[in-house]
Amino acid sequence: MTGTEAKWAERVREWRESGKRAEEFAAGQPFAASTLRWWGTEIRRRVEGGDGRRRERERGPRGEELIPMARVVRRVRPRVPESGPGGVVVEVSGARITVARGFDAELFSEVVRALAGAR
C-alpha cells in the first residue's frame, strides 16, 4: 500500500466511525467531501474485489483495515505433467502474473511492490 492509499484508508475509516456526513467530516480539513467519498468507494471496491463479492477484511497489527494490493485470479494447471503441480495467476494493479512452484520469492516481491507503487 502506498503512503497516499494508507493516508486515505485512515481518513475513510475515521469518517465512517464518526457517523458524520462527508461534508461535515471534511469541513476544515485539507480535502473535499467529494474526494473523501471517492476514496471510500475506491477502498470498498478494492476490498470487495472486481467480481462484486464481499471479501473478509484483513486487519493490521493495530486493528486497522488493510487494502489488498494483489489477489489470486485463477489456479493454473501444469501444461506438462512432469512439471509438477500448477501455480497461480496473481493480479496486481491490473497486471496478471503467473507464479509457478519454485518461483523466486524475492523477485516476485519486488515486482509486486513496483506494480503497487505504479498505481
Q: Do 78 and 98 touch, CB atoms closer than 8 A?
A: no
Distance CA 43, CA 50 (A): 12
* This prediction's pTM: 0.43
Contacts of 29 (CB under 8 A, 6+ apart): none
Q: What is the pLDDT along the chain (119 residues), one digit of tens a residue?
A: 678 888 998 999 999 999 999 999 999 999 999 999 999 988 888 776 655 555 555 666 677 666 555 555 555 555 544 444 567 777 776 677 777 777 888 887 887 777 776 54
